[in-house]
């Protein structure tokens, strides 16, 4: 996908960019730097901390480590999200969200109150966007690529020197984000993969 982004940059005659996105897009933003460091003058990561391209993602191992660290497995829902029928189940039950046991929760069409910052307009926009064009089909590909080792294969191609980010980085995370925890960024800082200044 980063090669596609570079092709667009070339067509637009942009030699460098500040690579910025949110959530799963942060993974692409990071790999843009890892694969094309000369094209990226800065990284902005919103809610997803830097993920070292090791080529060895193991969902069960990550869930075990996060359960030990936080008391619950933060990616447990990925077992459902990567199931062959997950997109169809979610498309048929758009009102459902999950604090746990995602498949059962979504399949039964259960719902729960949204957090205060979600306005009726935001919710209507989400529902409208995910009611068309395959709904959750495309978004679930990110989970599948990482879980089923497609991303692992690509990550093994990252040059060792490109794993350390040498451009300015801005990370913005939310303390109430129970999956993408801001504390995860410190692992990359401690490993010397990112330079950090608190603002």
Q: Does residue 84 lie in a domain region?
A: yes
Both structure tokens of 160: 């060792």
Cβ-proximal residues to 127 (8 Å cutoff; 6+ apart), any chain? 94, 95
* Number of domains comprising the chain: 2
Mean pLDDT by groups of 10 residues along the chain of 199 residues: 93 96 83 96 90 86 88 84 86 62 75 82 85 81 84 90 94 82 84 77
Residues 128 and 84 in one domain: yes
Q: Does residue 163 lie in a domain region?
A: yes
pTM over 0.75: no
Residues 82 and 40 in one domain: no
> Length of the chain in residues, anyone?
199
Range of the domain at 181: 2-56+158-190
Q: pLDDT (tens digit, 9 = 90+) per residue, 9-50?
A: 999 999 999 998 888 778 888 999 999 999 999 999 998 888
Residues 27 and 6 in one domain: yes
What is the spatial distance between Cα 166 and Cα 193, in angstroms, rounded to a whole number?
A: 8
Residues 52 and 67 in one domain: no
Q: Does residue 196 lie in a domain region?
A: no
Q: Does residue 47 lie in a domain region?
A: yes
Residues 135 and 170 in one domain: no
Residues 25 and 49 in one domain: yes
Q: Does residue 195 lie in a domain region?
A: no
What is the spatial distance between Cα 73 and Cα 63, in angstroms, rounded to a whole number?
A: 4
Residues 49 and 121 in one domain: no
Q: Does residue 101 lie in a domain region?
A: yes
Q: Does residue 128 lie in a domain region?
A: yes
Cβ-proximal residues to 190 (8 Å cutoff; 6+ apart), any chain? none
At CB < 8 A and 24+ separation, what contacts does 95-103 make?
95/127, 100/72, 100/76, 102/76, 102/77, 103/79
Helix (H, G, I), strand (E, B) or coil at 171: strand
Q: Please, is 167 exposed, middle or buried when counting C-beta atoms within 10 Å of its C-beta (0-12, 13-18, 19+)?
A: middle
């Amino acid at each position: 996908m980063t090669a596609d982004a570079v092709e667009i940059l070339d067509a637009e005659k942009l030699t460098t960019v500040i690579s910025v996105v949110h959530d799963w897009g942060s993974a692409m933003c990071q790999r843009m730097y890892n694969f094309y460091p000369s094209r990226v003058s800065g990284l902005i990561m919103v809610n997803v901390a830097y993920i070292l391209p090791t080529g060895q993602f193991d969902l069960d191992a990550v869930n075990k480590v996060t359960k030990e660290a936080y008391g619950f497995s933060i990616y447990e829902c990925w077992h459902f999200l990567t199931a062959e029928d997950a997109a169809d189940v979610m498309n048929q039950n758009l009102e459902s969200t999950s604090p746990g046991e995602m498949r059962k929760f979504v399949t039964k069409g259960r719902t729960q109150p949204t957090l205060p910052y979600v306005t009726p307009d935001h919710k209507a926009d989400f529902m409208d966007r995910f009611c068309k064009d395959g709904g959750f089909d495309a978004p679930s590909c990110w989970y599948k690529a990482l879980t089923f080792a497609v991303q692992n294969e690509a990550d093994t191609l990252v040059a060792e020197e490109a794993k350390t980010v040498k451009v300015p980085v801005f990370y913005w995370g939310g303390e109430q984000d129970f999956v993408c925890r801001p504390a995860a960024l410190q692992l990359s800082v401690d490993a010397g993969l990112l330079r950090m200044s608190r603002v």
